[in-house]
Homo-oligomer: A and B are copies of this chain.
Amino acid sequence: MGDMLWLDKLVQDWWWGLQLLIWGLRGVTRVILANNPLSGLLILAALLWASPWQALLGIVGVLCSTLTAIITGQDRSEVCGGLHGYNGMLVSLLMGVFSSSRDWYWPLLLPVCLGSVTCVLLFSSLSSLLDRWDLPVAVFPFNMTILLFLLCTGPQHPYFPRHWSVPPGARDMNATQLNVLQVLRGIPLGVGQIYACSALGPSLLILGAVLLYSPILAVHALLGSAIGTLAGLSMAVSQSCLYSGLSGFNGALGCMAVGGLFFTFSWRTHLFAISSAFFSAYMDIALSNLLGTVGLPACSWAATIVATLMMLMTGTLKAYRIPIGHVQSPEQNLRSCNQWEAGSPTDRDRESTDV
């Protein structure tokens, strides 16, 4: 269904609260690199299905950060596109997942709100920094904020106790024969893990939401998760990582970013997307082992760094790069690229042969 940009015009004259809802729903989908309010509704439903408390935290996060962006006078079109919502949502979800308090522990809303505000601040600063290379801010603000929060607290913290992350390379105490079925089940779970969701049903619903937005993206998500699982197997990570989908979600994100979203889809970018998935997955294992020594998770650092590096690459891949301001859904990217080529065929050809 694509980006549904026609909705923005329609909404322009609506009540302010409804506009905020649309912006928020866009923000919800931005987490998984999509941008479509309907997919956002589906994803919210999946989160509610998995855990109502988590869904509430996510909603608070996305609203809080979008409102902060409006108050601090961020660029209007960015706010409308949901760009200021997804980092806040992710921080809130992860705060909930890593908290070792019971569900509905209301004081957690305080760091959730503060964390969402921090994300907006970081987004704004990093965009000035990364603008020089026409790079997206991506989920850097989320990754920084959640690490800072987790570092402030600890397993015995009096107010906000948290789980201690175990590195994937640690010896499994209760390791048994590898269950192939469980490993395969981890592949769709890897897509759900992007929203820190580890139940099969909601993960499939999230995958469906991506499919609604763009089939190319959905295929790459599954492919990337499978590659991540393969990388995990090759490095003998712990079984719990493989079964829960944790070894797959960085691969999925790395694969989606390169395959069709920030680069025009073709068989070449497809090969680069596969490399990106492998690289993301291996880097995730490395970073998880490193951060695990102090009990921290590696979140989506690996995929974010790899996707950013891919966008900086020179050579063949550069010819397929879409300027950040023109990025739409993979299908629309492909279509606008074809239209452009039809209009001025020589220009593009010359560029790709030059390279």
Q: Which chain A residues have a beta carbon within 8 Å of chain B's beta carbons?
A: 69, 72-75, 114, 117-118, 121-122, 124-129, 132-133, 147-149, 151-154, 156-159, 169, 171, 234-236, 275, 278-279, 282-283, 285-287, 289-290, 293-294, 308-310, 312-317, 355
Roughly how many angstroms separate A75 CA and B318 CA in the complex, as a whole number? Answer: 12
Question: Helix, strand, loop or mixed for chain A's interface?
Answer: helix
Question: Are B149 and A169 neighbours in the complex by a CB distance under 8 Å?
Answer: no
A310 to chain B: which residues have CB within 8 Å?
A: 121, 125
The 9 closest A-B pairs by CB, nearest first: A73-B316, A151-B286, A125-B312, A73-B315, A125-B309, A128-B312, A148-B286, A124-B313, A74-B315
Minimal beta-carbon separation of A233 from chain B (angstroms): 10
Minimal beta-carbon separation of A114 from chain B (angstroms): 8
> Given A125-B310, A132-B132, A152-B235, are A286 and B74 neighbors across the interface (CB < 8 Å)?
no
A117 to chain B: which residues have CB within 8 Å?
A: 275
Contact of A152 among B124, B159, B289, B313 (CB under 8 A): B289
Contact of A309 among B122, B151, B314 (CB under 8 A): B122
This chain: how many copies in the complex? 3
Roughly how many angstroms separate A147 CA and B294 CA in the complex, as a whole number? Answer: 17
A122 to chain B: which residues have CB within 8 Å?
A: 309
Task: Give me 10 A-to-B residue pairs in the complex whose CB atoms sit less than 8 angstroms apart, sorted by A's number.
Answer: A72-B316, A72-B317, A114-B278, A121-B279, A129-B312, A152-B289, A153-B169, A156-B171, A158-B236, A159-B236
Contact of A314 among B114, B127, B158, B286 (CB under 8 A): B127
A158 to chain B: which residues have CB within 8 Å?
A: 236
Question: Are A75 and B275 neighbours in the complex by a CB distance under 8 Å?
Answer: no
Minimal beta-carbon separation of A41 from chain B (angstroms): 29
Roughly how many angstroms separate A309 CA and B148 CA in the complex, as a whole number? Answer: 15
Question: Are B73 and A128 neighbours in the complex by a CB distance under 8 Å?
Answer: no
- Of all chain B residues, the one with the shortest Cβ separation from A317 is B72
Roughly how many angstroms separate A129 CA and B305 CA in the complex, as a whole number? Answer: 13
